[in-house]
Structure 1
Amino acid sequence: MKEKLKRAAIVGIGTTAKPGNIHPYKTWKDLVADAAYEAIGDAKGLKPRDIDGGVIAYHGEGVNEQGGIGGSVADLLGIAPAPVFPHSMNCSGSAVALNTGWEMIASGKYKRVLVMGFEKEGDNINYTENINISFDTEYDYMFGFRHRDGFELMSNYYMKHYGYEDYTSYAAMSYAAHTYGRMNPKASVYGKPMPEFESLKNANSCFSMMGEGAAAAILVPEEDAYLYTDKPVFIEGISLACTSHYIAHRVGEPPMGPDFPEGLKKEETYGQSVALIAAARDAYDMAGITAKDIDVAQVYDLTAGSFWFLDGLGITKFGEGGRYFIEGKAMLDGGAVPINTDGGNIARGHASGADGLNQVIEDVVQLRGDAGERQVKDAKVGVAACVGSAFAHMTVVVLTNDKFKRKEA
């Protein structure tokens, strides 16, 4: 176990409703301001001028053409001359921004940090083409691979290698997401009719509901947490791990190279993400937990993505992620770790630059005990795991509330 590092507390959260929809009457600045000011308002007594640093994430400059975005955000929110550091790391960007925000707090230089992420696809006529150029453009993409292709190749391999004969696992995952989404007032499917289970037995049932939105969180040092909230949530462990975009690291030959996690047999993790396993180990070690301590988890859901997330996080054995959904274990009454309790990208909605923070925000809501009918009973430890591109960069965040008792070495 690593030496315990300084914790940051999340004391305010904000997120756009229905991120699986286009918001034609709002600019990206409107979306960011909505989420940021909701988060600031959620932190008791905090004013915009109290923010002394920020981080902003978006999918990439192929989606939002403005590169020098930090100054625009500082001016927009009225926090200038506080610095705002930009990130563009595909769907995992806002979780990477959270990592930077934690580092800012841990350094001691910053006391009140605003972390944000957004997506505004409607600004781009060729959005789908732009968002898919997120492999190694000079290699994979020029050979016809987009990152969506990578997900589907990995999913097809997973399903075949681990003996899934049909799309029942996809249906179970999608049905769980839609069930949770209908309990979440901010989800894109909230208030809509529930689909029939049989109608979901196809490869398309697990595609993300793509749209626009923003998310934001306020971080402060743990010793200041109760100045701003009665229900602080702490970043107990956080990690970013990276590996090549090269698709053969995931499909075809087993993962190769010095980055392969120690103690795992390549044939046992064939088709798994090296970066996911490494990030999970690092975050768990930092937090002093194991997978058995997790009470609720949010994972990136696209095709079979949730399955290998559960495997890589240690919630299931390798190859069992799909069966976890079939057996109903992802549900509140499943007797195991509930998964994607806000509906995930499938039902909450997918706003690329905000995905990582949307996961974290749902865990915060759960750990505060504010999730209403989708509340996980007595939740103390939440995990959020997000992906950038086709598992080239992985983020894992371990969140706890004040009921959590760390197991010291």
Structure 2
Amino acid sequence: MATETTSASLTGVSDDQRRDAVYRAIKWRILPLLVVSYVVAFVDRSNIGFAKLEFAGQLGFSDAVFGLGASLFYLGYVLFEVPSNLMLHKVGARKTFLRIMLPWGLVSAAAAFMLAPSHFYVLRFLLGVFEAGFFPGVLLYLSYWIPSARRAGVMAIFLSAMAISGIVGGPLSGGIMHVSDGLWGLHGWQWLFLVEGLPACVLGVVVFCVLSDRPESARWLRPEDRRLVAGDLERDRPTGAKVPHSYGAALRSRRFWGLAALGFGIMTSTSGLFLWLPTILKGAGDLSVGQVGLVSAVPFVAAVIVQYLNARHSDRTQERRLHAGVFALAGAAGWLLLPLVAQHTWLALAVLTLIAVGTMGAMGPFWSMPAALLAGTAAAGGIATITAFAGIGNLITPAVTGWLSSTTGTQVYNQLLYGAVLGLGALLMFVLVRPARR
């Protein structure tokens, strides 16, 4: 195997070269599978934005119904994130990810057969219940393998799955709906849920078979490489009286709440971008569903490039706070500018690209911060609570924005709300999280 060859060829090289080779082997082993899995996860949770272009009219769903259903995903998500991450800390990632991915794939596919708002509400809630724990679980899992000095770049690679899902998800969703409409008596949006939902079941089995729970159980690493990683992670463990080691201590930390505020803003903005981007582009000009799918990839292509470059610079400088906060403020500015250009297709696309770049550019540095500021059970529960807190924003804002859109007949207030939430989250993080001293 390539990993074994890399590991076996380290004789006679410097410690730094050996260390780089070991972590390169680890990244090649675990990251591609995690990225693909999260691409599927994000496509499955956000493809309703495209499906809505057809099923809303066919099933008689208003924007308020759509917004409430989108919110209920996050109700299930919020309720089960923390228990799932605490369980992962005890039973391991392989069993946890298998338990998450099999039912989420089945529920996502089952949305093809909904007929009434009640079906939509139940299925979205269950999708949130079953998917809960995957994202915070991966963040915790990566902290078992990668020391904090190398983590922002790794986080950015994993989180690029969001942007990748936007790049491939839009054209894929638009293409499926266009090509399959009427096939075997099913609408295009029904095929969309079936084709994009079931791969998660297969991936769950692959993850269980391929991944190792921790470095010490990874037989594909040499014993001396496992010891190297264990030593690095032990030295990297947060220490000091101010570092929370228990879940209760984390909840009493101002740094924790500063991170929660920015997490709330980032994930709310991300949700808004995926949920409303197709509707915004469709309303900005005379584009077909297929054209909307293709054009919608543009903001995410830019985002995945900038996301990686910002995270690499954050790793080189070992600075996280500014790399996360400044990009989040740029995304907030994009949301606030969007109402001014929403009727012009290409200007709207440019501002949507700013939103995507700002929101996703902040993610790598941001999501490397919790594990560096928390330790032990505080890290497991704290990371999950930060993502759960972010989920509360996603629980509230889709329902609110759906109601606003239905009531006012305009998207303007939605966009201003997303900008305010993201901007306020960044400002609170700057106030509550002081610059790290290394």
TM-score by length of 1: 0.33
Structure with the higher strand share, 1 or 2: 1
Structure of greater Rg: 2
Larger fraction in helix: 2
- The TM-score, its normalising length taken from structure 2, stands at 0.31
